[in-house]
Amino acid sequence: MHYLTPREIVSELDKYIVGQDAAKRTVAIALRNRWRRQQVPESIQDEIAPKNIIMIGPTGVGKTEISRRLARLAQSPFLKVEVTKFTEVGYVGRDVESMIRDLAELAINMIKAEEKQKVMSRAREIAEERLLDLLLPPKTEPPKTEEPAGQEKILEVVRRPSPEPLSTREKLRTLFQEGKLEERYVDMEVTQRSVPMVEIFSTVGMEEMDFNLKDMFGNLFPKKTKRRKVKVPEAFEILVQEESQRLIDMDKVTEEAIRKVEQTGIIFLDEIDKIAGRGSSHGPDVSREGVQRDLLPIVEGSTVTTKYGMVRTDHILFIASGAFHNSKPSDLIPELQGRFPIRVELNSLTQEDFIRILTEPQAALITQYCELMKTEGIRLTFLSEAVAEIARIAFQVNLRTENIGARRLHTIMERLLDDLSFEAPDRAEKECTVNADYVRNKLSAIEENEDLSRYIL
């Protein structure tokens, strides 16, 4: 990530997201600033705080997608959370600290997968030897009997062991590597950890207690093994997984994961406008300001206890988003506003944007449907006039009903290709061209009837 400039980051995001140049520039600068912070003298590294971002814009314009692609580009642990599921401490709901625990869990799995790839070749070698032991168990020598004291010892002639067992093992190895043992079964012991079921009815802040109890009981109780008869390929995969787990240094994984969370973690706080109401002392909104106050120490920097150790949140990048239809960013408590110094507004999508979304990005929507139909042997082609008509109908329906942005295109496309998707396996004609008339025939009745489009589109 260190060699990507903001311009290159924006160029990468352009492959997946249409428009929203201001938002792309903002997140590109934020990501580049992380690398810049690591280059400055260590004495001031901790003083440079991340510049958290609030994205303001209607649903379906790319707020979540920008953040997700940014995290994938930076290979950072990324967590998207809906802030509406959090409640003030003392109310029934999730504790805000659980987002840091979830992010740590994601980082552990990410680093573990990377380490597993590094040791996979060695794990496969060891698993192959263990599999050959199952196919050809080594000969066991008879136990030596102690001779009575005083009796003369009889000298035995020591002979060199015959090479037959070795050659048989190598023959089996060759057959296995050539895939000629795939239908053969072997008996093997499979480890099953028995953990007693423990249910905890608790208030907020105790989500992890059940996991900690499982870890504790899992170490106290002995591991159970179950004898299974499995085919050779399945046995080999089981052995590879067991050996790769043994080869991974979990202490190193945990240390690296916590470092990655603290230095490169990204948390996307969706629907932050839903907790922006202030002044409610009763009713369903009573906890909104409390959630903001609980979020404040996490965003400004604190230490959260996880089952993997202490995690500092000082340099985690927080990207918040909201439509802010019924509220505005200034409705957030002043302390929280100060922790999101960068505000960027995303534009509503136009009809031209819909045309670009359907055709330009990698794995664009039309490309996805063409590939899906190709699996049934059908060659699906969209003419440019059909794409323009789909974009027009999606734009008009968004204007007349709820504006859900680009997500409307998914609804329109599913409705448009409903018959084709159902009949595809039995269809004799393997060529299908979608033109503007086809789109109008399928969707015009729904488009003209506003009540019907409200429920169907």
According to DSSP, the residues that pair with 306 across neighbouring strands are 309
At 155, which amino acid appears?
L
For 342, the 3-state DSSP assignment is: strand
pLDDT exceeds cutoff 90 at 207: no
**How do residues 115-160 score in pLDDT, each as one tens digit?**
989 988 898 888 888 888 887 776 655 555 555 555 555 555 555 5
Phi and psi at residue 186, to the nearest 5°: -135, 150
H/E element holding 301? none
For the ranges 99-103, 147-151, 288-292, 327-331, the lowest mean pLDDT is seen at: 147-151
Domain 351-456 class in CATH: mainly alpha
**How do residues 270-284 score in pLDDT, each as one tens digit?**
888 888 865 544 455
CATH of range 6-107+260-345; options 3.40.50.12780, 3.50.50.60, 3.40.50.300, 1.25.40.10: 3.40.50.300
**How do residues 422-457 score in pLDDT, each as one tens digit?**
998 888 888 899 999 999 888 877 777 766 676 766
How many other C-beta atoms lie within 10 A of the C-beta of residue 370? 16
What is the 3-state secondary structure of 216-237?
Answer: HHHHHCCCEEEEEEEEHHHHHH
Buried b (16+ CB within 10 A) or exposed e, 205-244: eeebeeeeeeeeeeeeeeeeeeeeeeebeebbebbbebbb
Query: Mean pLDDT across the stretch 204-229?
Result: 59
pLDDT recorded at residue 257: 92
Query: Mean pLDDT across the stretch 391-399?
Result: 88
Percent of the chain with pLDDT over 70: 80
Tokens 């080594």: give the residue: 138
Query: Mean pLDDT across the stretch 391-411?
Result: 86
**How do residues 332-359 score in pLDDT, each as one tens digit?**
888 888 889 998 998 888 999 999 999 9
Give the angle subtended at the CA of 338 by the CAs of 206 and 328, to the nearest 5°.
90
| Listed residue (125, 3, 103, 59) closest to 316, CA to CA | 103
At 1, which amino acid appears?
M
When the pLDDT of each residue in the chain is averaged and rounded to a whole number, the result is: 81
Cβ-in-10-Å burial (0-12, 13-18, 19+) of 391 comes to: buried
Domain ranges within the chain, ordered by starting residue: 6-107+260-345, 110-137+168-254, 351-456
Query: Mean pLDDT across the stretch 28-57?
Result: 87
pTM listed for this prediction: 0.76
pLDDT exceeds cutoff 60 at 226: yes
H/E element holding 333? none
Give the pLDDT band (50/70/90) at residue 235: confident
pLDDT recorded at residue 201: 44
